[in-house]
């Protein structure tokens, strides 16, 4: 028994060395995650968009850029985002983006490689590639937000009509059952939940306060 335990202890530290595939994958993954500094030449619009994305998603600039690079490097058949960026890059005059400034950012080594590879493959300047990616990604998000806002606005209008009918129905129930009936009490609780949701919709449309799905 002691001999078996001794053999097991002596061999286990070398399991990773014996598994060359695991070792290579693990080492490569660590290298890809390493942070590197690189300088981008981007317009004020792109820098503002980068700040907006980081602030609204509560993530760092590095995480924004790394996420965009992963999006750009996804499978070609499904990568509509890269197609759009490449198409815009071929048509746009970089001067139209405005004055650019050099700014050093921390990104992963993998992201840096992705940008270099895609820049070479599609004949797009690296900095223009990341600039357009940031601007288009923000534009897509804002478009989705606006679409959602319009739907919530319509939902708010329907809620107003629904509440008017619900209030009229509540009055009818009170005449039928009286104020102290348990049905009226339960209905009152349901109405309060609906009122709270209606107020939440109004707040979202007015100042952008997110609707908490768990708040009743």
pLDDT by residue (tens digit) across 86-122?
A: 888 888 876 777 788 899 999 999 999 999 999 999 9
The pLDDT of residue 13: 35
Shared-domain flag, residues 95 and 154? no
Are 134 and 76 in the same domain?
yes
pLDDT at 24: 39
Q: Are residues 24 and 48 in the same domain?
A: no
d(CA 47, CA 103) in angstroms, rounded, equals 9
Same domain, 27 and 108: no
Decide: residue 8, CB within 10 A, 0-12 exposed, 13-18 middle, 19+ buried.
exposed
Q: What is the pLDDT of residue 99?
A: 82
d(CA 158, CA 154): 6
Tell whether 45 and 2 lie within a shared domain: no
Q: Are residues 12 and 39 in the same domain?
A: no
Instruction: Among 139, 168, 199, give the residue marking a domain's end.
Output: 139
Phi, psi of 43 (to 5 degrees): -75, 165
> What pLDDT was estimated at residue 31?
61
**pLDDT given at position 44:** 92
In a domain, 216, yes or no: no
> Is 212 inside any structural domain?
no
Name the residue range of residue 67's domain.
34-139
Model pLDDT, residue 2: 40
- Answer yes or no: is 215 within a domain: no
The count of structural domains within the chain is 3
| 214: in domain | no
Same domain, yes or no: 88 and 156: no
172 occurs within a structural domain: yes
Q: Are residue 79 and residue 103 in the same domain, yes or no? A: yes
Output the tens digit of pLDDT for each of the chain's 216 residues. Answer: 444 433 332 333 333 344 443 443 344 455 667 899 999 999 999 999 999 999 988 999 999 999 999 888 876 556 688 888 988 888 887 677 778 889 999 999 999 999 999 999 999 999 999 999 999 999 999 999 899 999 999 999 999 999 999 999 999 999 999 999 999 999 999 999 999 999 999 999 998 888 998 888
pLDDT at 98: 76
213 domain residue, yes or no: no
Spatial contact of 106 and 61, defined as CB atoms under 8 Å apart: yes
Identify whether residues 90 and 70 lie together within a single domain. yes
**CA 36-66-103 angle, 5° bins:** 55
Residue corresponding to tokens 């530290």: 13
Same domain, 38 and 87: yes
164 assigned to some structural domain? yes
If asked whether residues 101 and 163 sit together in one domain, one would say no
State the virtual CA torsion across 137, 138, 143, 147 in degrees, nearest 10: 100
Answer yes or no: do 184 and 102 share one domain: no
Does residue 134 lie in a domain region? Answer: yes
């Amino acid at each position: 028994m002691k001999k078996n335990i001794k053999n097991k202890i002596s061999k286990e530290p070398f399991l990773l060395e014996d598994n060359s595939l695991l070792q290579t994958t693990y080492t490569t993954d660590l290298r890809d995650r390493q942070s590197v500094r690189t300088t981008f030449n981007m317009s004020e619009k792109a820098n503002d968009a980068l700040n907006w994305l980081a602030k609204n998603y509560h993530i760092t600039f590095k995480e924004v850029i790394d996420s965009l690079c992963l999006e750009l490097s996804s499978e070609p058949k499904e990568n509509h985002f890269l197609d759009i960026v490449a198409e815009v890059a071929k048509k746009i005059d970089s001067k139209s983006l405005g004055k650019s400034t050099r700014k050093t950012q921390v990104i992963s080594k993998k992201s840096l490689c992705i940008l270099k590879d895609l820049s070479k493959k599609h004949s797009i300047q690296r900095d223009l590639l990341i600039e357009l990616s940031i601007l288009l990604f923000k534009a897509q998000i804002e478009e989705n937000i606006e679409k959602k806002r319009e739907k919530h606005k319509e939902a708010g209008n329907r809620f107003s009509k629904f509440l008017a009918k619900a209030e009229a129905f509540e009055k009818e129930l009170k005449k039928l059952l009286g104020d102290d009936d348990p049905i009226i009490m339960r209905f009152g609780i349901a109405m309060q939940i609906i009122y709270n949701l209606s107020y939440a919709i109004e707040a979202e449309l007015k100042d952008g306060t997110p609707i908490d799905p768990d708040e009743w």
